[in-house]
């Protein structure tokens, strides 16, 4: 059992060890869906929801696998749960908001292969978090993922209005800005310590 304070778990997952800007996990939606703030916000919400459900399921799966002494099934079990959760989210979004479903396009099924979600399940297990800590870790990771998406989307919307050389327009400029944003998040590294 990990004795890390709950607020520290949340802050670490959200700011200090941001999944996108520190671990570089989940780069596909970070670069692909971050063109508009509205779409980035909704994608961040969908990823956060999937992270939360996957985190709780991973906690339960890990406890079950420890009980039956079958930890070798851990990775495949996490992948199955994540894929099922994404399918559930996809059906809900399609039913509730077809416009959002169309806006997210191919990136919604790509949540299934989003390494940030699998990383979350594996990291929480390796850190020995209990259920409450796992939920806070998932919420912090989701909030950090959403924050990174919204920040880069806002910056990209502003950059569309700026005069930049043709050589660095598009993906090149997005990667440069993402690198600078990642460096900025390194400033939070003192927050996560006791």
**Contacts for 56-63: CB closer than 8 Å, 24+ residues apart:** 56/131, 56/134, 56/135, 56/138, 57/81, 57/85, 58/120, 58/121, 58/124, 58/125, 58/134, 59/124, 59/125, 59/129, 59/130, 59/131, 59/134, 62/125
The pTM of the full predicted model, rounded to 2 decimals, is 0.86
Considering the chain, what is the average pLDDT of its residues? Answer: 87
Asked whether residue 1 is domain-assigned, the answer is no
Residue-number span of the structural domain to which 98 is assigned: 6-185
Asked whether residue 193 is domain-assigned, the answer is no
Asked whether residue 191 is domain-assigned, the answer is no
Asked whether residue 147 is domain-assigned, the answer is yes
Q: Which of the four pLDDT bands, split at 50, 70 and 90, describes residue 65? A: very high
Asked whether residue 17 is domain-assigned, the answer is yes
The number of domains in the chain is 1
Q: How many CA atoms lie within 13 A of 78 on its CB side?
A: 24
Q: Is the pLDDT of residue 4 over 80?
A: yes
Q: Summarize pLDDT for 105-140 with one digit per residue, the tens.
A: 666 777 777 788 899 999 999 999 999 999 999 999
């Amino acid at each position: 059992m990990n004795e890390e304070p709950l607020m520290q778990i949340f802050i670490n997952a959200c700011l200090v060890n941001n999944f996108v800007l520190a671990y570089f996990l989940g780069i596909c939606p970070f670069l692909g869906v971050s063109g508009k703030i509205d779409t980035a916000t909704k994608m961040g919400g969908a990823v956060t929801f999937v992270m939360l459900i996957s985190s709780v399921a991973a906690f339960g799966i890990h406890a079950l696998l420890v009980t039956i002494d079958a930890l070798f099934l851990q990775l495949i079990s996490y992948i199955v749960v994540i894929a099922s959760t994404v399918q559930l989210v996809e059906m809900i979004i399609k039913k509730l908001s077809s416009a959002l479903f169309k806006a997210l396009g191919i990136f919604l099924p790509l949540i299934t292969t989003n390494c940030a979600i699998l990383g979350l399940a594996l990291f929480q297990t390796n850190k020995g978090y209990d259920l409450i800590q796992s939920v806070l870790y998932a919420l912090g990771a989701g909030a950090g993922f959403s924050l990174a998406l919204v920040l880069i989307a806002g910056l990209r919307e502003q950059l569309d209005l700026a005069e930049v050389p043709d050589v660095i327009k598009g993906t090149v400029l997005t990667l440069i800005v993402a690198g600078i944003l990642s460096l900025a998040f390194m400033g939070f590294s003192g927050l996560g310590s006791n």
